Amino acid sequence: MSGVLEQIAGVLYEGDDESVCTLVQKALNEGIKPGQVLRNGLLAGMDQVGVDFRAGDLFVPEVLISARAMHAGMDILRPLLSQSDLASSNKIVIGTVQGDLHDIGKNLVGMMLEGGGFEVIDIGIDLPPEKFVDAIKTEHPDIVGMSAMLTTTMQNMKHTIDALENAGVREEVRVIVGGAPVTKEYADEIGADGYAPDAGSAVELARSLVKQKDG
């Protein structure tokens, strides 16, 4: 790995957005391909952030600063990335299910996923099942993430998955679920493809699912 890419990963980990921009520009000037800057610079840094967050060494605000630095770097790279590079950035639609207004966890997961290199389409809160169906039809995401914070609204995750089945779009996406009352057992029971207990694990889970899908 070239020195400048390691430096990018390092300053991204520190959340230094100005240095990220300077170094991304420097790497490009050195003739390194944009896709490589993305993978071995920005995403490599974000991976380390994810590892240390899950280990309890980093805290949410630090992850968000790194995510902001990631965005700053992406603003420079995006116009230069080839179609194949862009296709490798996966899309995820997230929202809270019908009846549920709790958006803190969902927002946090969204920010972490963006930091993890996903294109995140946040369709909001208190969403009837057909909103998820519509979003799949218009956005063609790789993954749909549903959140619920109440045992009463959690049942609507099942209703939403059923609606995806009935609309014939269930096979197009991987469905992941999360929220305080949700458990792995419940996720399995309703036929979700994955469950994450926290925002950091959600990124890990999303990555493993798109790898399965692509592979």
Partner 1 sequence: METILEGTKAIVRIAPHHRTVLIGERINPTGRKRLAAELAAGNIEIVKQEALTQVDSGADVIDVNVGAIGVDQVTMLPRAVEMVQEVVDVPISIDTADPVALEAALKVCRGKALVNSVNGKEEILSRVLPLVARYKAAVIGLCMDEGGIPGEPQKRMDIAAKILKRAQEIGIPQEDVLIDCLAMTVSADHEAGLATLDAIRKVRTELGVNMTLGASNASFGMPDREILNAAYLALAIREGVNAPIVNVARVRQAILAVDVLLGRDEYAQNYIKGYREKQREGK
Q: CB under 8 A: which stretch of 26-34, 169-177, 181-189, 206-214 binds partner 1?
A: 181-189
Q: Which of residues 84-123 bind partner 1 (CB under 8 A)?
A: 101, 103-104, 107-108, 111
- CB-nearer residue toward partner 1: 59 or 82: 59
- CB-nearer residue toward partner 1: 111 or 202: 111
Tokens coding 93: 């639609």
Question: What span, in angstroms and rounded, lies between the C-alpha atoms of 83 and 9?
Answer: 23
Q: Which of residues 147-166 bind partner 1 (CB under 8 A)?
A: 149-154
**Is 126 near partner 1 (CB under 8 A)?**
yes
Beta carbons of 76 and 26 less than 8 angstroms apart = no
CB of 62 to partner 1, least distance (A): 9
CB of 10 to partner 1, least distance (A): 22
CB of 187 to partner 1, least distance (A): 11
Contact pattern from residue 50 through residue 89 relative to partner 1, giving x for each residue in contact according to CB under 8 A and a dash for the rest: ---------xxx--x-------------------------
Provide the b/e sequence for 87-122 (b: ≥16 CB within 10 Å).
ebbbbbbbbbbbbbebbebbbbbbbbbbbbbbebbb
- CB-nearer residue toward partner 1: 59 or 137: 59
HSE of 42 in the Cβ direction (CA atoms, 13 Å)? 31
Binding site for partner 1 (CB under 8 A): 59-61, 64, 101, 103-104, 107-108, 111, 125-126, 149-154, 180-181, 183, 185-186
